[in-house]
Structure 1
Amino acid sequence: MLQKTRGIALSYIRYRETSIIARVYTEEYGLQSYIVNSVRTARSKNNRIALFQPLTLLEMVVYYKNDRDLHRLSEVKTSYPFQSLPFDVAKSTIAMFVTEILNKVLKEEASSPTLFRFLAESVIFLEEAQTDFENFHLAFLLKLSFFLGFGPESDREFESQLRENSYPFLPDAETETALNIMLRYPFGTPIKLARASRNDLLDALVAYYQIHIDSIGEVKSLPVLREVLG
């Protein structure tokens, strides 16, 4: 059955000689995998493989059957062409980190329109932001945790859960203020945070996710993110 849905590209792997299997978080069906044929050839029209770069926002017409793990696409196009995200080193590094986290925490389950809307709006903010996005990845992890069921209500609750799990996190007043701003205010709210404090908070947030989600494991993009944005 043909169905329309919006999606957010997460990753893809090569499949046979000319195709890929793309993982896409969809508005209607949650996390799905799609076979996309003939995108890795010199004759491929319009460089369609670029549609499946991290966090690309998609409009799709899909063949959907709920008893299959792999689905097929009838039509696909981007709903929001990027002008800066793939080309700005800082933004593309953030996108790489965010995509790795999403691949680890999103499951193949029923759709969540509110989660999809949050993710799409977050991507659009990152694409459009000209300033005050250096803490985006930190605020994103905090805000995403509420959709996953373990969001902290305050900096004190965040610190308490880390301590209870033997993670040594001793934030200064600046970091505590930054945490509370990220919890309560939208992306782009100016936050004063030193490089070392940003790195410490990033490590603490990843540890917080590891406490709540066993499958997180090693986050391979973390060293690059620390170097570029730390």
Structure 2
Amino acid sequence: MLVKTRGIVLNYIRFRETSIIAKVYTEQLGVQSYIVNSVRKKGSGSRIALFQPFTLLEMVVYTSQRGGITRISEYRSAHPFSTIPFDIRKSSILLFLSEMVSRTVKEEEENPSLFAFLYEAIIHFDELETGFENFHLEFLLQLSHHLGFGPSSGAEIIEQVAFSSRAVGAATVPPVLALQAYEVYFDQLLRSPDQASIPNGKVRRELLSVLIGYYQLHVEKLGDIKSLAVLSEVLSE
């Protein structure tokens, strides 16, 4: 059966000589994997750019009652990006966020509110010309609410991460008093993100580290985020 749906590309792996297997979060079918033929061929015929992280697509896809990997019948860009491909900071942020979504969103069923949040957030990010330094932090906080473990305050984040760190004896986690200094920043990001006053890149990286720790408490087998090192380097200061 064929289904028409919008989709958000999460990632892809190479398959055979010129094809890929793309993981896509679809509006109608949730997370799906599709074989896409002949997108990596050399020359002007290549369409691999349409399967970069968080690309927005309009698709007609095959479905199967048995599940598993299917194929895309038709696909095209639903919203060509105007800034993201030309800004290394933005493309690095989207690479990181797409990996986080890929590791946390698993269901093979529609979730209209989650899809709408992701779709609209990506378009908004592309339209921002300045002031997007905190976007990834705001995004992860909002995503956590859609996933069912969103915090109500900065104190809730800090208490959970600090307690977990003490329980496992983690030597690399800052002392509780240092973590508590971050509560006010999380409160700003939760309540008035446009007015959040995070002083510099160092604090921003530390907030992200705490926030990933918070996710690790709530998402089973989240694992290491491979794109985090790239993001940290690009947004160093």
TM-score over 0.5 for the alignment?
Answer: yes
Report SS of the residue matched to 1:86.
Answer: helix
Question: Identity of aligned pairs, percent?
Answer: 51
Query: What amino acid sits opposite 2:196 in the alignment?
Result: I
Output the CA distance in 2 between the equivalents of 1:122 and 1:81: 15
Query: What amino acid sits opposite 1:77 in the alignment?
Result: R
TM-score, scaled relative to structure 2: 0.89
Output the CA distance in 2 between the equivalents of 1:152 and 1:81: 33
Corresponding residue number in structure 2 for 1:182: 189
Corresponding residue number in structure 2 for 1:116: 115
Corresponding residue number in structure 2 for 1:34: 34
1:192 to 2:208 alignment = no
Query: What amino acid sits opposite 2:187 in the alignment?
Result: N
Corresponding residue number in structure 1 for 2:23: 23
Give CA deviations for 1:162-198 in whole Å, capped at 9, x if unaligned.
122125453465x433312221246xx1422122211
Output the CA distance in 2 between the equivalents of 1:220 and 1:15: 21
Output the CA distance in 1 between the equivalents of 2:20 and 2:44: 13
Output the CA distance in 1 between the equivalents of 2:187 and 2:222: 24
Q: CA RMSD in A?
A: 1.7
Output the CA distance in 2 between the equivalents of 1:179 and 1:51: 34
1:214 to 2:213 alignment = no
Gaps of 5+ in 2: 166-172
Q: What are the equivalent positions in structure 2 for 1:10-159 lying under 5 Å apart?
A: 10-42=10-42, 45=45, 47-159=46-158
Output the CA distance in 1 between the equivalents of 2:43 and 2:123: 31
Query: What amino acid sits opposite 2:75 in the alignment?
Result: V
Report SS of the residue matched to 2:7.
Answer: strand
Number of residues of Structure 1 aligned to a counterpart in Structure 2: 226
Query: CA contact under 8 A between 1:132 and 1:190: conserved in structure 2?
Result: no
Query: CA contact under 8 A between 1:85 and 1:127: conserved in structure 2?
Result: yes
Query: CA contact under 8 A between 1:32 and 1:108: conserved in structure 2?
Result: no
Shift of 1:44: 6.6
Gaps of 5+ in 1: none
Output the CA distance in 2 between the equivalents of 1:43 and 1:225: 30
